[in-house]
Amino acid sequence: MLARILLLVASLSIPGALHAEGTAVEKAGLESRLTIYLAKGPPDACGPGCDRWIAIEGEVDQDAAPRIRRFLAGVKDMQRPIYLHSPGGNVEQSYVIGRLLRSRKAIARVGRTTATACAAGTQVDAACLKIKNAVGEVEAELTTRNAMCNSACGYLFLGATSREVAPDATMAVHNSRLVLVIHGHPPAKLLAEARQRQIETSNSQRAAFVVAMGISRELDGLIRTVKFESPHTLTRPELYRFGIDTRPLAETMWTLEKGARPFISKFAMMKKENGSAFRTMEWRLSCESRNRVPLRFAGEVDEATVGKSTILMAASADTNAEAGGLAVRLGKYEVWSGAVGSDMIKAILASRHLQVRENTPMPDGKADITRFDIDMTGLASVWTQLVASCSSATTGAKGPWPAIPLSNVSATPPAAPSP
């Protein structure tokens, strides 16, 4: 009976990517159609020994799945990572693409790709899109800072077998919005019943997809509670608990912060041994002063912690090159500031990892020792940029700590004392 009264087409839309408002997507620097292309960057651009990746960006449109399938069929390198940057879009298409990525055992990360040939314009103007859609690799740069994989994009991401969300990238979820296209004038009761059936169907499909991808049912339960208008950014504990990004230590890339006092910074979020909480840490290297380079470490600590920690950092290329000492408590953070010589800098730049050891006194008189490694990939190229920036920088006040306001960080401490 319902079929004789109305033709109902249901689709699921995502905030910021309304199909009727393509300009809203363009203002966000994203194309209103999902774009996929091969990208090539400098050495180690996408990790140790990795300089080539697949970029997927823009809105998930209603024809995205077959286009992505055709493209990936021509990519034989199954280990080439896929970097996603998307506000979302059509959910049904996202499910199809997500299952396609699962069949390829894809490696997925959240990151923004910038085509270097498009520097004079935007990344979504006609000239740049022509470059991205051409055959072959696109020379590009890659960053995770301010990258996003929101709403329907998350279902693409869940399809991958290896998933990484950097601390300075975001993944947001919310309940989908049901759009009904109606022909005729059906009774309100029948329309309400049809809407309810579509909502139940979409909820069932989402729950089945989440479970099939090996993700906790908690994620689906959370999505059901989040209004379409107010997306929820997943915290680091949620990403870990739901099984989305199960790394106990997640890091950002090394990033140059320009300004009157330029510096290089890296953030990391490390899971605490007890419970599911994560702590935030930052490393900074600043402009040289009298042939010595200011180095700073700051780590989040529990306010109830007794005593001050001792931090020791060693370059993996030369473990005799060490720096560190007693940290200073600043609110919920402990900060160590010092300066290292040229030999230490050379060792750091030649290292794959910075070996970190924290010694924290406990109430029972014993010491809690934590050891972990921080990835140094990409630091050498950013260091070159810092040296160039320092030569032209003017003396001024230091910026606030931390350099990047991460969504998982609830508060920031006051500026640390000068080294």
Identify the residue with better confidence: 13 or 137. 137
Question: Binning pLDDT at 50, 70 and 90, where does residue 83 land?
Answer: very high
What percent of the chain is modeled with pLDDT above 90?
63
More confident: 278 or 11: 278
Q: How far apart are CA 176 and CA 202, in angstroms?
A: 9
Q: Determine phi and psi for 206, rounding to 5 degrees.
A: -65, -45
Closest CA to 207 of 220, 222, 225: 220
At residue 2, does pLDDT exceed 70? no
Helix (H) or strand (E) holding 92: helix 91-103
Q: In the predicted model, what is the mean pLDDT of residues 146-168? A: 96
Among 251, 89, 102, residue whose Cα is nearest residue 164:
251
Is residue 338 within a helix (H) or strand (E), and if so which, with residue range? strand 333-340
Sign of torsion over alpha carbons 211, 215, 218, 223: negative
If we measure between CA atoms, which residue out of 115, 222, 214 comes closest to residue 171?
Answer: 222
**pLDDT for position 194:** 75
Model confidence at 183, pLDDT cuts 50, 70, 90, reads low
Does 134 or 11 have the greater pLDDT score? 134
What mean pLDDT value characterizes the chain? 84
Q: How many CB atoms lie within 10 A of CB 249?
A: 14
